[in-house]
Every structure is written in structure tokens, then in C-alpha cells.
Amino acid sequence: MNKYLAAAGTLAFFVGLVHSFLGERLIFRRMRDGAIVPTNGGKIIGEGHVRIIWASWHMVTLFGWLIAATLIWLAASPDRMQNQGLVLSAIASTMFASALLVLFATRARHPGWAGLLAVAVLVWLGDGT
């Protein structure tokens, strides 16, 4: 078992869970008019845009969970994949770029960059073992 990849996968799953939960509590709750999908964007954002922002928000979580599942799968049996190094490099690069994007866009006020960076570092460490 590759402990770095297992930790990266677990952390990626947790980051996704926090992302969706806090997004619902802090952002979308105020935009909801009694339905599951929020529609109230006030004077600035129309209903169609609110709907796609909500869907996109939760797509990010789903993508993160898919990456988490892939990391845990690779951690359990590193010989399963012929091009594992390429896959791990792609995941680490994506997580690192995402961390930089969140860091820059929020001026480091949103903690998501730290979780994404930690996943990238753990994947990078796990790729060498």
C-alpha cells in the first residue's frame, strides 16, 4: 500500500466533501427559493446562470472524488497500471495548478488552496515510492 497516495486520496475526498457542504451552507442557501436547485441570483445573476453555477460547483466535487478514488485504487495496488506515472503526474499537476488558482483568486483567504496543494505534494511524494 502506497501510504502517500492513500493519504492524498483520502484528503481529496475530504476536500470535496467540505467544498460541497460549505458551498451549500454559505452560498447556495441564500439563493434557494424552496427548491433543491437554487434559482435566485438577485439583481445580478439570472436563474439560468445560478443553476449552472450550482451544477458546476458540485461537478468540481464529483471530479475531486473521482480523482480521490483513482488515488486510493492506485495506492492499494501500484502495479495495476502501465502508465501510472503519467496519471499521477497529471493528477499532481492539476491539483497544484488548482491550488495556485484558488490562492491567487482569493488572495489566500480561501483555505481550499492548502488542501489542494497538500494533495499535490502527497501525490508527488507517492509517485516516487
Q: What is residue 44's DSSP assignment?
A: T
Summarize the confidence of residues 61-65 as an average pLDDT.
96
**Total domains in the fold of the chain:** 1
Domain range enclosing 10:
3-127
pLDDT reported for residue 129: 63
- Chain segment 118-128, per-residue pLDDT in tens: 999 999 999 87
Instruction: Say which residues have a Cβ less than 8 Å from residue 114's Cβ, sequence separation at least 6.
Output: 99
The whole model's pTM is what?
Answer: 0.88
- Chain segment 3-53, per-residue pLDDT in tens: 999 999 999 999 999 999 999 999 999 999 889 999 999 999 999 999 999
What number of other Cβ atoms are within 10 A of residue 50's Cβ?
20
CB 20 within 8 Å of CB 57: yes
Instruction: Say which residues have a Cβ less than 8 Å from residue 43's Cβ, sequence separation at least 6.
Output: none
Residue 34 dihedral angles phi and psi, to the nearest 5°: 90, -5
- Chain segment 64-114, per-residue pLDDT in tens: 999 999 999 999 986 777 788 899 999 999 999 999 999 999 999 999 999
Largest distance between two CA atoms of the chain: 54
Q: How far is CA 4 from CA 91, 102, 105, 109, 123, in A?
A: 13, 23, 28, 27, 6
pLDDT reported for residue 77: 82
